[in-house]
A and B are shown apart, each in its own frame.
Chain A
């Protein structure tokens, strides 16, 4: 085909970030019929690909990375359609509805508050705040029962407030779910990325240690497996004081060890007794053999060769032969022989 498809035509546009060439020119109607279709289409594709690659190498600065020449692509300029539908807006909670109706707006508060008692500026929340529950002295109001525990009352009220807040929060969540929303994202999960169980576990670990005592006293959630080295601190029993907890652990370990013992009847001892009785009764078939021919010493880790031995092995053999000769005639052997003659070696307890 001598016809160039790009001769009198609109120049193509490029989106190099997506490796996209946009050639708006229509296909030649004469060539799309009959047997010329396939070769024509192949030619069109080839020319477009050629112009895309030449555009890449012309337009972009080339770099050298180790042995290759590389052109970094620019960010894509073509907007792609959404993969998933857009998220639905969250329905407002009961408070948000109320605030909207009454046009209550949020007042931005400063962090520091003047504390009259200590005469200094204190943060409104967090470390170093003027906590009424940490007061050393509480006045009993005139209207209250003089025998009532004021500190306990404050604690109880705080607990009730916290519980009420938690209840409202859960109600909001359940209303959202009922109206077709999703569960709120966990703050420790990285903004909604809690799809896998691994991420959920990670979020649980982070949440548990996000309190003042770094999770030391957090109770175990049902089915939770805590790694023995998880968390920054290990918790040990106190050194002095009552030893009951320690004793408890020791008793438990002893019980486990006792349970593991598989042979309460001591069959080994029974077999030994039987063997001794047989030997003493002079049963020839079951008697212990006389002094067997001593076996060659095997060296650990050395593979024994079939035929020829190495020089080292020969040297060792000769040494062992020397010792065997000495042993054969020495006092040790006489003692051994006398011991073998006597019926039992082990002293019965």
Chain B
């Protein structure tokens, strides 16, 4: 377990700011407790400082997880956000997309969102912006990348993709073995 280097911090913040923008400071400067980011076995964990200190007492091989896992660094040092970060992305999301009930199941199985499944989308979403995906009852389902901007998605035909799938809460069951290393 160690703090992130400058390059790693940059990679993580870039990814996070795609979804939550300036609210990143709200994640770092919290009023209740001091939170910190730590790297353990190529995964980035976001935890309050007392939790992190206790986790530091566990052997490295035997420490599975602590706090919240935001994502992992791949072998070529690229950062991928995981669905476990959804709890922190959802409240601060800049651009949101709501799915119709018929398309929810498709998304939870890992498919992309087509225009036919699109319920609502935040106004002025640029293309390739980070989107947090909700159901019509405002439950966060996952996140992805906008395939089209709001204007473009209104003019698109029903089978066109409007959101590329990146992570969904179905992964807790599908990728149970790999989510936590």
Contacts and interface: CB of A to CB of B under 8 A. Distances in A.
Interface in B111-163: 116, 120-124, 126, 149-151, 153-155, 157-159
Contacts of B3: 236-239, 246
Contact of A257 (B2, B14, B122): B14
Contacts of A238: 3
A237 B2 contact: yes
Contacts of B121: 345-347
A272 B124 CA distance: 6
A346 B10 CA distance: 33
A279 B120 CA distance: 18
Contacts of B9: 249-250, 253
B78 interface: no
Interface in B1-35: 1-7, 9-10, 13-14, 17, 22, 24-25, 28, 34
A254 B13 contact: yes
A59 interface: no
A239 B121 CA distance: 42
Interface in A231-263: 236-240, 243, 246-247, 249-250, 252-254, 256-258
A305 interface: no
A257 B154 contact: no
A14 B172 CA distance: 85
A240 B36 CA distance: 10
Contact of A239 (B1, B102, B124): B1
B38 A269 contact: no
A272 B151 contact: yes
A226 to B, nearest CB: 14
A230 interface: no
Contact of B25 (A246, A254, A289): A254
A213 B126 CA distance: 52
Contact of B13 (A243, A257, A266): A257
Interface string A164-207: 00000000000000000000000000000000000000000000
A257 B116 contact: no
A2 B7 CA distance: 84
A266 B126 CA distance: 10
A336 B158 contact: yes
Interface string A7-31: 0000000000000000000000000
Given A236-B5, A256-B10, A272-B150, A250 B28 contact: yes
B56 interface: yes
A346 B2 contact: no
A252 B14 CA distance: 13
B124 A253 contact: no
A349 B122 contact: yes
Nearest to B14: A257
A348 interface: yes
B49 interface: yes
Interface of B: 1-7, 9-10, 13-14, 17, 22, 24-25, 28, 34, 36-38, 49, 52-53, 56, 102, 116, 120-124, 126, 149-151, 153-155, 157-159
19 contacts: A228-B7, A238-B3, A239-B1, A246-B37, A247-B28, A253-B10, A254-B13, A254-B28, A257-B17, A269-B123, A297-B159, A332-B116, A332-B158, A345-B150, A346-B120, A346-B150, A346-B154, A347-B122, A349-B123
